[in-house]
Amino acid sequence: MLKTKSPRTGSLPLKSTIAALIISLLLLAAPSLLAVTMDDLVSRWRLPDYPGVLPQLVDYRKTPYGRNVQVDYMIATSLCRLDDDASLALGQKFFHRILAAYELTPENRQQIELEFSRCVETVVTHDRPIWIVFAGIRADAGVSGKTFYWLDQKNGPLGGDPIHSLREIDKSELEARRFTPAQRRQAVAKVGQLAGAGFRVLATEHFVIASASGQSQSELEAIGRHLDATMRFFHEDYGMPLPEYLVTIYLTPTTGELRRLADRVHGLRLEYESIGYSFRDDFSIAGVVSGAHSGTLKHELFHLMARSHFGDILPWLDEGMAALYEVSRRDGERIDGLQNWRGDVLRRFWSMRPEIGELVRMDWRTFDAEGERREQQAANHASARYLALFLQERGQLAALYHAFQQQQVADLSDDPGEDAARLLQQTLQQPLASLDQDFVAWFQSLERPLGIEALKQVQRSLNRLGFDAGTVDGLMGGNTRRAVMAFQRSEGLSRTGRLDTTTLGLLKARAEDSGI
């Protein structure tokens, strides 16, 4: 971490500086109505006209997807070229935030650290800042993806690798792929053309879905309903703005087909194990999906929607919450995460688990365990996912998301990790050591979840024995849990709703006795 030097001398009072204006603009809830494009901002920044472009950059930062690394970099470098203490200090805070919250390529990080070193010099630099073409997974290009590895036949998928751009997609072509809900017919035609032969295409309230994975019409409609409900939930619970345009979903049957689609439609090169990605510039998500499953799509939908107002979301919160919805259930208007395979990963690599205080201090390099074993990355990602589940079960997850989303750069110190730990502690009103102890106790009390087919058999048995478990879907939803509790009551067991060994054994015995 680069450390800040003493501020320059001879500064103006804070209230008379550009920094004071920037801070006041940051605190305003909405941008002005002045129409300005990213191209306009870049041109003015490169003139250079730092005092003139700064208010526009801060205004633009409040627009959908305006809170991104390129905008924050232009703000930081502009502030660092104004000759007063307050502007310098605020510029340094933006640099700290960039290095902590954005996933960067090694080249991008090196360039940013060079500019940061200029910002901490005691004499103002008049050199023009480096123009950076950001190429990270979650940089301004707006691409996010999941690549999974298998360490052995028993282990679940673990880690991730970057997505590489092979060629630029013309801006006019990207704009031609964006359709409002009133343009569903045109959207279906365009997406069918892009996807190519063999894809079935349909439109829902918020999505256009193109599949070559062999789903029936009813399965595609079910995926659409799940995604529409998830989008509404993200909007209502987390305040994520609803996209102005329909989101396009591409479904492929294999990773090889996904790679070919990424190349053909988005000019991307995926790693061989990739199972999904999102591409913000044309509001699309692609994934390897069979049947009516939508876990990968919900994961990428979280990334796509969260970045509309929270581009600098910290890694543990970003991946933890996105992974939470990989396996989830719908209960009325709510979408709740359930246990999944990452629990077994965490159990296997428990000795490598970062404590909560360490986890929340991580930047992307540490979180993705760059230069370390894949097992450490697996432990970090699994810890983040189960921390999100733990906070969901305590009813604290939404409040925590809002607290971090509303955090202002101007209020940060030169240590983003400590800022994150402090805000978590303040929001949950609990010391982090105590929180970690509660998490460990909670996690160790969890039973390992049954697989989908095993849970379907439990649901069939409950239904046939007269305990209404609802739809046989392999998910531990409210109906299934109530049915388990009713069965436990009938057997004189504690009504926990959990499928422990005793409950499963008795259920199997009663089913066999009844000839089921």
* Length of the chain (residues): 516
Q: What is the mean pLDDT of residues 44-60?
A: 94
CB 429 within 8 A of CB 456: no
Burial bucket for residue 437 (CB in 10 Å: 0-12, 13-18, 19+): middle
CB 179 within 8 A of CB 282: no
> Residue 141 pLDDT more than 50?
no
CB 469 within 8 A of CB 459: yes
In this prediction, residue 296 carries a pLDDT of: 86
How big, in percent rounded to 5, are the helix, strand and coil portions of the chain? 50, 10, 40
Contacts 24+ apart (CB under 8 A), 39-46: 41/71, 41/74, 42/74, 45/74, 45/77, 45/78, 46/128, 46/131
CB 382 within 8 A of CB 340: no
For the record, the structure tokens of 445 come out as 């009390």
Q: What is the mean pLDDT of residues 405-413?
A: 93
pLDDT, the chain, mean:
86
> Residue 443 pLDDT more than 70?
yes
pTM of the model: 0.82
> Residue 236 pLDDT more than 90?
yes
Q: What is the mean pLDDT of residues 445-457?
A: 83
> Residue 147 pLDDT more than 60?
no
Segment 290-330, tens digit of pLDDT: 888 888 899 999 999 999 999 999 999 999 999 999 888 88
Nearest in space to 8 (alpha carbons), one of 76, 77, 91: 91
- Cα–Cα distance between 456 and 3 in angstroms, integer? 56
Q: What is the dihedral of CA 256, 262, 267, 268, to 10 degrees?
A: -70
DSSP 410-429: GG--S-HHHHHHHHHHHHHT
In this prediction, residue 124 carries a pLDDT of: 59
pLDDT band at 33 (very low <50, low <70, confident <90, very high): low
pLDDT band at 149 (very low <50, low <70, confident <90, very high): very low
**From 49-58, 127-136, 341-350, 370-379, the region with the lowest mean pLDDT:** 127-136
- Sole residue written with tokens 């979280």: 302
In this prediction, residue 406 carries a pLDDT of: 96
DSSP 268-325: EE--TTEEEEEEGGGTEEEEE--TT--HHHHHHHHHHHHTTT-TT--HHHHHHHHHHT
For the record, the structure tokens of 112 come out as 């940013």
Is residue 203 classed as helix, strand or coil in its secondary structure?
strand
In this prediction, residue 137 carries a pLDDT of: 41
Segment 160-194, tens digit of pLDDT: 455 777 888 888 999 999 999 999 999 999 999 99
**Higher model confidence: residue 20 or residue 413?**
413
Nearest in space to 278 (alpha carbons), one of 65, 69, 57: 65
Contacts 24+ apart (CB under 8 A), 429-435: 432/355, 432/356, 432/357, 432/360, 433/355, 433/357, 435/356
CB 424 within 8 A of CB 400: yes
pLDDT band at 157 (very low <50, low <70, confident <90, very high): very low
**Higher model confidence: residue 354 or residue 489?**
354
Segment 116-132, tens digit of pLDDT: 999 987 555 668 898 88
**From 6-10, 265-269, 295-299, 475-479, the region with the lowest mean pLDDT:** 6-10
> Residue 341 pLDDT more than 50?
yes
Segment 79-109, tens digit of pLDDT: 999 888 889 999 999 999 999 999 888 899 9
**From 63-67, 325-329, 432-436, the region with the lowest mean pLDDT:** 325-329
In this prediction, residue 13 carries a pLDDT of: 45
Question: Which amino acid makes up residue 194?
Answer: L
Is residue 164 classed as helix, strand or coil in its secondary structure?
strand
Maximum average pLDDT range among 133-137, 140-144, 210-214: 210-214
In this prediction, residue 379 carries a pLDDT of: 95
- Cα–Cα distance between 151 and 221 in angstroms, integer? 35
pLDDT band at 501 (very low <50, low <70, confident <90, very high): low
In this prediction, residue 95 carries a pLDDT of: 97
In this prediction, residue 57 carries a pLDDT of: 95
CA 141 vs CA 72, 137, 159, 208, 312: distances in Å = 14, 8, 21, 22, 14
> Residue 151 pLDDT more than 70?
no
DSSP state of 505: H
For the record, the structure tokens of 66 come out as 């305006």
CB 377 within 8 A of CB 343: no
**From 72-81, 132-141, 382-391, 461-470, the region with the lowest mean pLDDT:** 132-141
In this prediction, residue 78 carries a pLDDT of: 95
Phi, psi dihedral angles at 202 (to 5 degrees): -145, 160
> Residue 156 pLDDT more than 50?
no
